[in-house]
Amino acid sequence: MTRVGVVTFPGSLDDGDVQRAVGIAGAQPVPLWHGDTSIGEVDAVVVPGGFSYGDYLRCGAIARFAPIMADVVHHAGDGLPVLGICNGFQILCETHLLPGVLTRNESLHYVCRDQALTVERTSTAWTDGYEQGERIVVPVKHGEGRYVADDETLDWLEGEGLIVVRYAEGNPNGSFRDIAGISNEAGNVVGLMPHPEHAVEDLTGTPGTDGLRFFTSVLRSLVG
């Protein structure tokens, strides 16, 4: 059975929901602890949302130096699928696995709502179950989700087709170019602010199950 590691930091909130989503997708969730130095025998890793280390200093700035992250970064370089959600996306930016940074929402308000997204890049380990241009609805909940990078980086992301999901029907945080999620060039590392793990069941996922394919995609990419 495919094993998907889910990292827990002090202050992680969504590790339980990610583990549940991984299980629903048909893989075995493997809890990983921030203080461990090895990810062990896993086929993919999810860095979940929350407020790691209390968001002190900057979101993700201290989690970046957690012992487990060195091993995650090492294996990401070898092609290990890594997904960062919300605070996990902030951490992946701080580790420089992904360019740019997430800053305080332009409105200064914490935003929690169902959010329409357009899937733009499907040639990643986490999104190949979607159609390019597909409109999905997934919850967002964050106070610091405004993606910021210099124009050169933004043009490069656009030119290489590395923008994975973009906000549709309204930008919740002032993110540059409506960016909700990006990937590295190889497509094994993806980070996004919206929470696909909160949209995997009809009972509780108000918008439906549009998020589930992030987790089934990685199974397919590992098996295929």
Partner 1 sequence: MARVVVDVMLKPEILDPQGRAVQGALTRLGLSGVTDVRQGKRFEITLDGTLDPERETALNRLAEELLANPVIEDFTLRIDEGAG
Residues forming the active site: 86, 195, 197
CB of 12 to partner 1, least distance (A): 20
Nearer to partner 1 by C-beta: 12 or 105? 105
- How far apart CA 148 and CA 141 sit, in angstroms, is 18
* Among positions 52, 105, 118, 183, the unique one binding partner 1 when judged by CB under 8 A: 105
* 108 belongs to the binding site for partner 1 (CB under 8 A): yes
- Closest to 124 (Cα-Cα) out of 217, 209, 27, 211: 217
The length of the chain in residues reads 224
Q: Which helix (H) or strand (E) holds 24?
A: helix 15-25
CB of 106 to partner 1, least distance (A): 6
- Quickly count: other Cβ atoms within 10 Å of residue 123's Cβ: 13
Is residue 54 within 8 A of residue 18, CB to CB? The reply is: no
Contact string (CB under 8 A) for partner 1, positions 120-159, x = contact: ----------------------------xxx---------
- Closest to 4 (Cα-Cα) out of 204, 172, 223, 156: 223
Contact string (CB under 8 A) for partner 1, positions 157-186, x = contact: -----------------x------------
Which residues form the interface with partner 1 (CB under 8 A)? 57-58, 61, 65, 93-94, 99-101, 103-108, 148-150, 174
